[in-house]
Amino acid sequence: MPDISSRDPDWWRQAVVYQVYPRSFADADGDGLGDLKGITQRLAHLATLGVDAVWLSPFYPSELADGGYDIADHRDVDPRLGTLDDFDEMTAEAHRLGLKVVVDIVPNHTSHRHDWFQEALRDGPGSAARDRYVFRAGGGTHGELPPTDWQSVFGGSAWTRVADGEWYLHLFATEQPDLNWDHDEVRADFRATLRFWADRGVDGFRVDVAHALAKDLSEPLRDVGDLEAVGELALHRVPPGSHPYYDRDEVHEIYRDWRRVFDTYSPPRTAVAEAWVPHSRRALYARLDELGQAFNFEYLQTAWDADALRQVITESLAAAQTAGASATWVLSNHDVVRHSSRLVLPPGTDENAWLLSDGRAPSIDRAAGLRRARAATLLMLALPGSSYVYQGEELGLPEVADLPTAVLQDPIWQQTGRVRKGRDGCRVPIPWTTTGPSYGFGAGGAWLPQPPEFASYAVAAQDGTEGSTLELYRAALRLRRKLLDGERLVWADESPEGVLQFARGDGWRCVTNLSGRSVPLPPGEVLLSSAPTEDGRLGPDTTAWLA
């Protein structure tokens, strides 16, 4: 069993990390928005669940143009969510309960309300303040056209024009101007931010859009043409490192610099990159002299198909090994359709169109979705490396696909001219109790409406209930701690078609049935299964752990 104690420098290698989206987790002051005190009060839930660490999405001062990823001050707490004292209290309580704390660092951009951007607007073209961002003159006869064809990830041009006629770059929302990482002051400021949180006892960092910081800003800026239509998928079509603003080789200098900061602490601070890049390139971010881990979005995007999963698992392990890193696995987060809904969407479904139909075209079978999600989770938790779990998935929460458009907060909705609903459906505040104005989220309402069926998913409804998804997660995490032994995975020599089977260490085997029909269970004692096993058989969409 690995030592998850506070001094072990390798605690992260096989850790299970629970993602809290602070505004939707627990609301202590009843204003409808989750807060730090709410998190502190609910940390016992995470300790009982059996995770090793909690990662908090941003809680910094923000006008919430992008759910908190638009940050006005990277070294403070949004007053609606609490104070730095509340943060310290939360960290102390987490540590007391044996939980590590990971915070989100958002280095690609600031909020337009950040002092630096306000200064840049005031000081005007050519000023030193503008140089911390990416300001340019426009094209066309009078500068009326954006400087390049670059598009925002959230829709529309990535350039917005300011009153004096210059344009600034924002790869995300208009309110999120991109920083210029060629600027020494920008680099120094983020080193200070990392130290600020590490000094407060933070154990690790999740690095937002880690692949976009380094940009080719040499003149003239290059158009990307057709590539724009496919966004980050463009990286599969161009020579590695040649895209003007994604996954450039120079970005790694930044993370090598950060590693020097992390290593001044004991144990060294950890980091995980959010990098939507192909496998082989992702491993570069995870090198031990850089961030150590990178999210495995290829795994998240893999269909519920035995061959595809086996391939992605094999490739992910190999890629992590080349970097000396541990592999990571994730099925849900605050940016994607929850996996209990996503995994039963027919292959090829356009998720944006599905959300726009309020989850009706096609309609999905919730029970089948939950069954599959539970099987997928047990499979994930048996893989060597670190797993990331998103708040609410331990309750089996489905995507809230039918949020009325009037309540949508994600900037994607407006910025795409109302053709993509965005990510609010996975960000609905989670239910703790079966009754109450927001099912125990807080004493008041919730910033996004919770559907009535959330009552049946509440922690209180599942706590101690045999067979509930919450109890399945608890049992799995308990058992995983006991069984963990090295980072080895050995595929079984033979498995029926559509069945994945592998061994971990000596006494632990995992078998997942994706074949659509029941199959005989391999010999051995069933330690845990995602659905009941009967007469020595494993039903469809079921995972079992065996000894």
Contacting positions for ligand GLC (CB under 6 A): 66, 69, 106, 172, 208-209, 274, 334-335
Sorted by sequence, the CB contacts under 8 Å of residue 270 that are 6+ apart come out as: 11, 12, 102, 203, 204, 205, 262, 292, 293
Residue 90 Cβ, how far from ligand GLC at the closest point, in Å?
21
CB of 14 or CB of 62, closer to ligand GLC: 62
- Asked if residues 44 and 26 have their Cβ atoms less than 8 Å apart, the reply is no
CB of 410 or CB of 487, closer to ligand GLC: 410
**d(C-alpha 335, C-alpha 41), whole Å:** 25
CB of 99 or CB of 179, closer to ligand GLC: 179
Residue 272 Cβ, how far from ligand GLC at the closest point, in Å?
12
Residue 498 Cβ, how far from ligand GLC at the closest point, in Å?
33
| Six-digit token string for 218 | 């040499």
CB of 4 or CB of 186, closer to ligand GLC: 186
Closest residue to ligand GLC, Cβ-based? 69
Look up tokens 């943060």; give the residue: 87
Count Cβ atoms within 10 A of the Cβ of residue 315 and give its class: 0-12 exposed, 13-18 middle, 19 or more buried: middle
- Of 370, 373, 423, 372, the C-alpha closest to 400 is 423
Residue 69 Cβ, how far from ligand GLC at the closest point, in Å?
3
Residue 382 Cβ, how far from ligand GLC at the closest point, in Å?
26
Residue 319 Cβ, how far from ligand GLC at the closest point, in Å?
21
Q: Is the peptide bond before 404 cis (omega within 30 degrees of 0)?
A: no
- Asked if residues 297 and 330 have their Cβ atoms less than 8 Å apart, the reply is yes
- Asked if residues 102 and 54 have their Cβ atoms less than 8 Å apart, the reply is yes
CB of 179 or CB of 209, closer to ligand GLC: 209
Residue 172 Cβ, how far from ligand GLC at the closest point, in Å?
4
Residue 537 Cβ, how far from ligand GLC at the closest point, in Å?
41
Torsion angles phi and psi, residue 528, rounded to 5: -165, 145
- Of 524, 520, 545, 522, the C-alpha closest to 534 is 520
Q: At what angle do helices 251-262 and 184-199 cross, to 10 degrees?
A: 30
Residue 181 Cβ, how far from ligand GLC at the closest point, in Å?
15
CB of 297 or CB of 432, closer to ligand GLC: 297
CB of 390 or CB of 457, closer to ligand GLC: 390
CB of 179 or CB of 320, closer to ligand GLC: 179
CB of 11 or CB of 69, closer to ligand GLC: 69
- Of 388, 339, 397, the C-alpha closest to 541 is 339
- Asked if residues 207 and 105 have their Cβ atoms less than 8 Å apart, the reply is yes
Torsion angles phi and psi, residue 114, rounded to 5: -60, 145
Residue 430 Cβ, how far from ligand GLC at the closest point, in Å?
17
Sorted by sequence, the CB contacts under 8 Å of residue 92 that are 6+ apart come out as: 201
**d(C-alpha 327, C-alpha 295), whole Å:** 8
CB of 208 or CB of 487, closer to ligand GLC: 208
